[in-house]
Each structure stands twice: as C-alpha cells, then as structure tokens.
Amino acid sequence: MSEREEGEVENADTKQHKRSNRFKSLDEKPVNQDGFAKEWPEEGLIAMDSPNDPDPSVTVKEGEIVEMDGKQREDFDFIDFFIADYAINVEKAEEALAIDSVEFAQRLVDINIAREDIIELTTAMTPAKLAEVVNQMNTLEMMMALQKMRARKTPGNQGHCTSVKDHPVQIAADAAEAALRGFDEIETTVGVARYAPFNALAQQLGSQAGRGGVLTQCAVEEATELELGMKGLTTYAETVSVYGTESVFKDGDDTPWSKAFLASGYASRGLKMRFTSGSGSEVNMGQAEGKSMVYLESRCVLVTKGCGVQGLQNGGISCIAIPSAVPSGIRGVLAENLITTMVDLEVASGNDQTFSHSHKRQMARTFPQLVAGTDLIFSGYSTMPNYDDMFAGSNFDSYDYDDYNVVQRDLKVDGGLKPIAEEDAIAVRNTAARAIQVVFRELGFPQITDEEVEAATYGDGSDDMPDRDQAADLKAAEELMEGDITGLDIVEILADHGFDDLAENMLNMLKQRISGDYLHTSAVIDGEFNVTSGVNDRNDYQGPGTGYRMSEERWEEIKDIRHAFDPEEV
C-alpha cells in the first residue's frame, strides 16, 4: 500500500483524508472563528497600497489647486473639489508633494524633528500623498510617529454606556462608575429610539456623579442628537459620518457641504463635534472604486478637516471586520489614526467594536494605540458587560477593567483609566441612582423604585435590573423631548434635594457651552473643570524626557491595583 493510501479512509461513497490532531486542535482555537479574506484590489478589498491608488501630485495656479493626484480640476468629483478648496494648506502643497515620501516618513519618526516643524507640510498633503507616506512605515514606526503627531500631549479614553433594556437607573450608575474610573468622554445610544432623551439625561447626570467634567453624547439620528445637545443633555457629538467615494456620499443623500453645514449647527450651540469614518465602509457599500482602504480613508480625514470640526473617530469603527480580515489590515487601521493626527485633528482611535473571538488578537489590535497614546485610545470601551452594549459590543468591556489596569501597570503606560476601590464604585453608583430617582419624581416621570436604586447600586448589568413599564417611560421621554425642560431644570432639582456637588457639576457643564473653550482641537475637561486641549497642552514629544511623562501622582493611581499585596503586611 502506498504512503498516500495509508492516510486515506475509504468507503463505498466517500474518500476522506486522515487529519492531523494538531491541526484539528488549531481549528478549535478562537482565532479560527474569525473571518479572513484574501486581497481583491479590483473591489477595494485591500488595506493599503492598491495598484489602483493614484500617484500623488498637485499643481497650484494663482492660489488654487488645479490638479490633484492625477486629476485635472475639471475632472474632480465633489470630494476632490471640497478637499482642494477647504482642506489643504495650498501655500505649502507643492513643497510638501515635492518631498520624497520615504524621506518624509523618516521625518515623522525622527525625534530631532518636532511636530510643530512638520505640521504645516503634513496639512498640505493630498490624499494620495498621505497614503503614500504611511505606506513606507512599519507598525512600530507608525506608533513612534503617532506618539509625536497627536495634537494633545496627554492621552485619554472614551467609553460606551448603554443598556439592552434602556434602563435609565442602570445607565446613570454605569456612567458614574465609568467617570470614576477615568474616562474623559462617555457615549450612549438606544435600543428603542424614543428612549434617547432618558438615556442622554441618565448618562449626563450619572457621569457628573462620578467625576465632574466628563463629556457625554447620545448617538442617535442627527437632528435628535442636536436637539438633545441644545437641551443641555449632552455636550458633544461624533456620529456624523463621512466617506471616501462620491457614490457612497450620494447613497446617503449627502455631500461634504451638507456635513459642514450640520457641523456648524453643533458648534454654534457650543457643542464639541467630531466626525466618524473608518476603513472598510466603502467596500461594505460596494463602492470602493478599486482603491485601498487607507487611500479612501485619507480622503475622509481631509473632508473632516475641511468641515472645520475638531476631530475624527476612525480606526475601522463599525466596519472593523473588513480591514481586520485582509492582510495588513490592523496596520492600515493604525495608519488611518496616524493620518488623522498628521492633519492636526483630534483622533478617537477606534478599538470600539468587537471584531475577533481571540483575546490575544483583541489585545494586539489595541496595543499600538495604547502604547503610543492617542487623544482617545478607545472610541467606545464598553463600560458595562458586552451583552448590554447597544453599539454591537466592544473590543474591551467591563469584565476587562482589571486586565486593562494591569497592562497599564506592567508597561507603565497611561491608557486613561485607573483602578478603583469597590466601596467607591458602590458609593458613586448609589449617588447617581438616587439622584435620577429624585429627578424622575420631581418631573412627574414614571416612578423609580428603591428596588431599582438598590439593583443599580450593586448590579453588574441589565440582567440584575427590574423591568420597567416601557410604554410609560416612552410617553414620558416624548414629553421631555417636546417640552421646555432643559439641563438647568435638572440642576435646580438636584440642588433643591441635597445633591449640591452633583448640581454644581451639572451647572459647570452647561457653562462650558457658553465659554466654548472645549471647542478647541482635542479638548477634554478635568475634574476641576479646566480644559486641556491641543492648544494649551501641545504635544512636544521629541524623544526621552520630552512629551507626555506620567506624573508621580498619576503613577501612584495606576500602580494601586486591587489585588497587589503589601510586603509590609506579610
């Protein structure tokens, strides 16, 4: 019998190869439950450097870009027009394009060249030039560049705060704990759209119970989102989406100009505004025009820049399954984060939607942004169990808090969070739950029972929460949306019922809308209501001893994990 015949089992109908036990075991590993694809450049299923990407070029005449990336002005689509006229530093464009891309990539990682010395050139690059520069860099080099190019020196973090039941008491309690853990921003969304005002109110109130100064948003339909902000129930927005091809824009009945008009609506009412994009969205819509994901994302980044908003949430986001399925896709996601910083925008660097069954791969996806530091390392760390995450689950959730804190401690990196004591978490959760109980009672909304307060104080997720009368809640939520109640009414109720600190925090957040200081690039607000941004906390990294260095106070916070023993007590 031949060697091949010995490895085969035959019966009357089928012939099967005998399998390796090693490979059978490997097939059972979580990573092999993920989806992977080979590259398909003709349809845009390629992360970087597609053979169909244009070569970078630019021609300027009388202060106007008349040719860009191989297209004459008369052949521009509306994205090209918008980028050429509003997003590029025209005065420096030809100089920036004349620099060899390898040489420029070297400047990005060179610690002897400061961010401020090259930002006027990176903001003068065309989409193809930005893509070509990052194509020259490996993952480590992109991390080095990201550490230097992010706008704000101090890194930060952002979390999701949702409930599969849209339970207002649970959302308030989770928001309070998230704020105590260090998140600079928290966002909620809804299971049922009409719950939006309750979720926004609960999150805003809860976050200020945990720590004053936390920014909040409610990710819903854009007009509703703006109205919630005008009522003082949110402080920022980031779900205005932009795309890299004209056909995808048209599918949404949008243009870059309509996005800019909407952005001005938020800014004029004192709301921080960030756009959303991310690799893979054009492929997902079947309209990538054969271009690489990073090239198309560079167009999204420049549209965002042209609209005048403060920053961009990118890094795959809801389409992360697409770039993560192709070779070099996670490197491409890091590249799009880097491009965002190169054009001097705040970057909320993804790490939000879950994409892999493998914990090792989940950590590997987050590692570059965590170690390099970004303005907001996550744009949606799930602050509750993933089964409650109405954004479709996050790469990290509340069960990963201790892992995340230990990794910060192991590597001495600042990922924006800190360990907290159990009793402190219980205290702020209880304050938030009792406060929203009072607010609901005083506004005549459906009663929040003591049982609900108790469940939210000590609970883990919505499985621990009593069910509510959703019909009654939705009726009251509509009244909140359609009536004259604003954030100021909430402040008054809290102050009248002994929640003085919380009332003051809520009032201070409303004041931010008037001063507008947090409308600067990469702005966040600390517990003393000081605004730090890319303006007053400029990133000056130039190698060891420069840039962000953890203070002793901050290091003591990160070191103090719950289960470390004290040698003096042994």
Enzyme catalytic residues: 158, 160, 187, 238, 313, 352, 379
**Residue 101, CB-side half-sphere exposure with 13 Å CA sphere:** 16
Helix, strand, or coil here: 151?
coil
For the chain, the farthest-separated pair of C-alpha atoms sits apart, in whole angstroms, at 91
Which residue spans within 320-371 are E strands per DSSP? 346-348
C-alpha 540/C-alpha 355 separation (Å) is 34
What are the two backbone dihedrals, phi and then psi, of residue 46, each rounded to the nearest 5 degrees?
-155, 135
Structural contact between residues 136 and 145, judged by C-beta atoms closer than 8 angstroms = no
Nearest-CA neighbor of 456 among 422, 429, 424?
429
Contact 452, 433 (CB under 8 A): yes
Report the distance separating Cα 318 and Cα 299, nearest Å. 18
Separation of alpha carbons 157 and 381, rounded Å: 8
Give the CA distances from residue 167 to residues 217, 430, 491, in Å, rounded to whole numbers and listed in that order: 17, 15, 21
Query: Which residue's entry shows tokens 């031949």?
Result: 2
Q: Which long-range contacts (CB under 8 A, 24 or more apart) does 463-468 make?
A: 463/387, 465/163, 465/165, 465/167, 465/169, 465/170, 467/165, 468/165, 468/167
Closest to 266 in 3D by CA, of 239, 243, 237: 237
Facing residues of 58 across strands?
68
Q: Rounded CA gap, 494 and 434, in Å?
A: 10
CB atoms within 10 A of CB 272: 28
Which tokens go with 27?
A: 């097939």
Rounded CA-CA distance 214/149 in Å is 24
H or E stretch including 185? Answer: strand 185-188
Q: First CA to last CA across the chain, in angstroms?
A: 68
Please give the structure tokens belonging to residue 154: 């101090």
From start to end of 83-174, where are the E strands?
158-160
